[in-house]
Amino acid sequence: MASDIHSVLVGETWRKAGMVAKASGSAITSGTVNYYLKALTGANAGKWWKNSDQTWDAAETDNAMTHQADGSWTINLAATPFADAILYLEYAKESGDLHVAGEGRLLRGKAVLDSVSLGAILGTALTETSAGYLAAAFKKLFDVATPLLVASDAMRGTDGANTVVPDAAGTGAAVVAALEAYGDAAWSTADVSALALESSITALAAAVGTPLQASAYTAPANATVTAIHDLVKAAGAGDVAAILAAAARVAALVEDSGGDRFTAKALEAAPGGVGSDPLLAEVPGSYAAGSAGAALGLVPGIKAKTDLLGVAGVTVVSPTASGGQLLTIVRGDDYLAADGRAPAWSSDDWPDLTAAAVQLTARDKTSGDVALSAAGEVTVAGAGDQTVRVELPTAATSVLRVGAQRYVFDVEATLAGGSVVTLVMGTVNVLEDQTR
């Protein structure tokens, strides 16, 4: 590890280390690797971080790490040990001293980032009309004693934007006063002298004319269509005689040809002449090709073909994993078979699990990182209900982060013949332990 000082944000809990075997130069992927953190300055200078109870101890304290992949080991501290401006030394060791020894890494706590990238703020690469525009905009907006943003045309984002706050209160008062002065009077007498658009409002008033008054009109007589026609025509709005004539022609069409073109009698004229019930007509009978009657005539032939299909034709079997399972764990607890607490699942819908290998894996829903991995066992195999069980020791559960459904998990079986089958899928609730 480099000897220069690295910054670490106050609030950080995730730490990692790469471990290499000094004998072979290969990555260390198993065994026990511990994390160590020593405060070099501040109130806890000379003490080591103790993750089990989140305190500082005078003795070098082991904090177990979890192997993730290819010699990379991580630990999620139960609480952040880092404070602003404090200097720390961190390092990791394999419990059997099989690792390549390193000099550790110096850290200094930082309350905030040293700098902020405009690219990070925008979430994309910068695109500017001219280089430096965006940086200058941020500086002008925020590098002042009291930043002030006005939601007006000052925010249009143009070089010639207005920089004067509009007199919203004065303009609004003038509008209200003009409307109140109008009242029930005509638009032409409205007092709009306080408004800048007086000429436009006056023109609108002239176009509208005197407001309509309900007392100036009489509702038309609704006794007959003819009376309505007479009122409209007398008002000079146009002759609607053509409408009445069209209505008369429609009535004539209904009654012509013996009165059976657009009435219930039309059913009697259908091919087959079966009276008022068209469903009694023979199909396809004399119905023309392409008609609904001709199409219905095809149904008997289709039925004859489908009757040849036996009910014992094909059976489709699609085994699926039991989804929606919820596994609740108290962080740091042992879940062992000897205590009757090991999680177990049973089903009569699984393939034969005789001699199968069982594995439980849980991943963080956000990062996708493996948080829990444990081998299980088949306790009941063969016909009928089968059962699998997985033991979770405290070393595995103590590194989990507290939260509701923070992780997703599955239980997978590798059958004796080599097939891989997912038996159970679900989510994990991790409850916070209070006794530490």
Confidence of residue 50 (pLDDT cuts 50, 70, 90): very high
Q: Per-residue pLDDT for 234 more than 90?
A: no
Residue 194 is given by DSSP the state T
Both structure tokens of 115: 């700098």
What is the tens place of the pLDDT at every residue in 238-248? 455 665 666 66
Q: Give the mean pLDDT of 284-311.
A: 72
Q: Per-residue pLDDT for 191 more than 60?
A: no
Cβ-count burial of 240 within 10 angstroms (0-12 exposed, 13-18 middle, 19+ buried)? middle
Per the CB < 8 A criterion, the answer to whether 274 and 286 are in contact is no
Both structure tokens of 170: 């004065």
Residues 401, 281: Cα–Cα separation, whole Å: 75
More confident: 324 or 366: 366
Question: Which percentage of the chain shows pLDDT scores above 90?
Answer: 38
Q: Give the mean pLDDT of 361-388.
A: 93
Both structure tokens of 268: 């009697």
Give residue 244's pLDDT. 64
Give residue 213's pLDDT. 46
Q: Give the mean pLDDT of 40-50.
A: 94
Q: Give the mean pLDDT of 395-418.
A: 93
Q: Please name the amino acid found at residue 302.
A: I
Secondary structure of residue 37 in the 3-state scheme: strand
**Fold identical between 5-110 and 322-431?**
yes
Q: Per-residue pLDDT for 310 more than 50?
A: no
What residue segments make up the domains of the chain, in order of their start? 5-110, 169-208, 270-306, 322-431
Q: Please name the amino acid found at residue 52.
A: S
Q: Which fold has domain 322-431?
A: Immunoglobulin-like (2.60.40)
Q: Which CATH architecture has domain 5-110?
A: Sandwich (2.60)
What is the tens place of the pLDDT at every residue in 122-131? 666 667 777 7
More confident: 348 or 303: 348
Cβ-count burial of 96 within 10 angstroms (0-12 exposed, 13-18 middle, 19+ buried)? exposed
Confidence of residue 1 (pLDDT cuts 50, 70, 90): very low
More confident: 280 or 153: 280
